[in-house]
Structure 1
Amino acid sequence: MTAPEPEYSHLVDLRQITDAPLTLVADEAARRRLAGRFGITAISALEATVQLVREGEQVTATGRLVADVIQACRVSAEDLPVHIDEPIHMRFVPPAGAITPDEEIELTADDCDEIEYEGTAFDLGEAIAQTLALAIDPFAEGPNADAFRAEHGLNDTAKSGPFAALAALKKD
C-alpha cells in the first residue's frame, strides 16, 4: 500500500541547497486540499519564506509563514477570517536508527522541531503545511460569539453544563 500524496509538497534535494532563501506560495488547488485536510472553510493565501542551512546531513530551516484562512467560529459556526503570521524553525535530519520499545528517550525543546527524512531529499511543503495546521486556533471565536451565546442561552452556566443535574436536585 502506498502512502497518499501530500496536499502541499515541495521536495528539496540536499544537493540543491543554496544560500538564497526559498519562497513557497501555495496555489489554489493546494490551498483547497489543505483546507479540507484541516477542516476549515478556506485558505485564501499561504506563503512561506525559508532560509535553509545545511550542516552535513542536517538542514536547519528558519523563516516565516504567512497565511489568511477562513474558519468557523467555535460558538456560532459563522465564517471567521484569520490572519496567521508564524515563525518557522525546524531541522530536517536523517533517521536516528531503531529504538527499542522499552528504551527511554529524553527530548529537549530542539528535538521537538526535528523532522526525519530518508534519501537525499525532504518535503519542505509538507513541513510548512504542518506548521500551518499547528498555527490554526481550533477555539477561535468571531465578533458575534457573545451575542450568539446570549441569544441561545449559552451564557448561563448554572442551567447547563456538567453540574446542572446536580444543581436541580439541591433543595433551597
Structure 2
Amino acid sequence: MNTPDSTAPEFSRPLDVRQAEGQAPHVEASAAEREALARRFGLVRIDSVSADLELHRDDRTVEARGRLKAEIVQSCAISAEDLPVSIDEPLFFRFVPAMTAYAPDEEFEITADDCDEIEYTGSHIDLGEAVAQSLALAIDPFLTGPEAEAARKAAGIGTPEDQGPFAALKGLNLGKG
C-alpha cells in the first residue's frame, strides 16, 4: 500500500541539476497544491501561484532568476475580513550542494548573496519548493484591511502608534508654544 510521504513538499517540481543549464521552466501550482500551500501558510486560499524562471548552472551550483506571481486571499490581522492580495515579485535564488561537514567552532560570514542559497543533496533541486518558500516570504503577516480601524475601536484597541512606548509622551506639550 502506498502512503503519501508527510515530509514531501506540497508543491514539488524536481529538476536534475545536470539538465538545468539554459532551462526556462514555468512552474505553476495545481488546485490541490494551492490548497495545501494555503493550509501551510495560514491563508484563506491561494487562487494562483506561478513562476517563470531562467536557470544557469556552474558545476553543481544552479542560479534561478525570474518572477513570482500569485493571487491569494488572507485574513486581515485585526478584523479577520478576507482580503485579496496580488503578489508580483522578482525571484533570485541559488541552489548549492549541501555541506557535509561543519567544524564545531568554525566561524563564517554570511553576505547578502548567501541569504538566498538553498542547499540540496543528491542530483536534484526542487523548483516548486523554492517558489513556495519565496511566496511565504512575500506574504505580509500583519496585513490590515479597510475594516481594521473599526474593529480596533469596537474592541477598545488603539492604533499601533497609540500603543508604543512613547504613546504617553504624545499628549504632552513639550516645548511647543
TM-score between both structures, scaled by the size of structure 2: 0.84
> Structure 2: which amino acid aligns with 1:81?
P
Alignment of 1:24 onto 2:33: no
Flag structure 1 segments of 5+ consecutive residues without an equivalent.
163-172
Distance (Å, rounded) in 2 between the aligned partners of 1:130 and 1:140: 19
Instruction: Give the distance between the partners of 2:67 and 2:58, measured in 1 at CA.
Output: 21
Letter in 2 for 1:78: E
Alignment partner, residue 128 of structure 2: 125
Point out where structure 2 has 5 or more consecutive residues left out of the alignment.
Answer: 166-177
Corresponding residue pairs, total? 164
Residue 11 of structure 1 corresponds to 14
Share of identical aligned residues, percent? 51
Distance 1:160 1:117 in 2: 44
* Cα deviations by residue, 1:131-155 (Å, 9 ceiling, x for unpaired): 0001100000011111222233212
- What is the alpha-carbon distance in structure 2 between the residues aligned to residue 149 and residue 88 of structure 1? 36
1:87 aligns with 2:83: no
Q: Which runs of 4+ in 1 moved over 3 A?
A: 159-162
The amino acid that maps onto 1:133 is A
TM-aligned CA deviation for residue 3 of structure 1: 6.3
The alignment partner of 1:133 has SS state of helix
How far residue 19 of structure 1 moved from its aligned partner, in angstroms, is 2.3
Q: 1:48 aligns with which of 51, 58, 64?
A: 51
Q: Which residue of 1 aligns with 2:42?
A: 39
Match of residue 69 from structure 2 = 66
Cα separation, partners in 2 of 1:152 and 1:3, compared to 1, 3 Å: closer
**Shift of residue 64, structure 1, vs aligned partner:** 0.4
**Cα-Cα RMSD:** 2.5
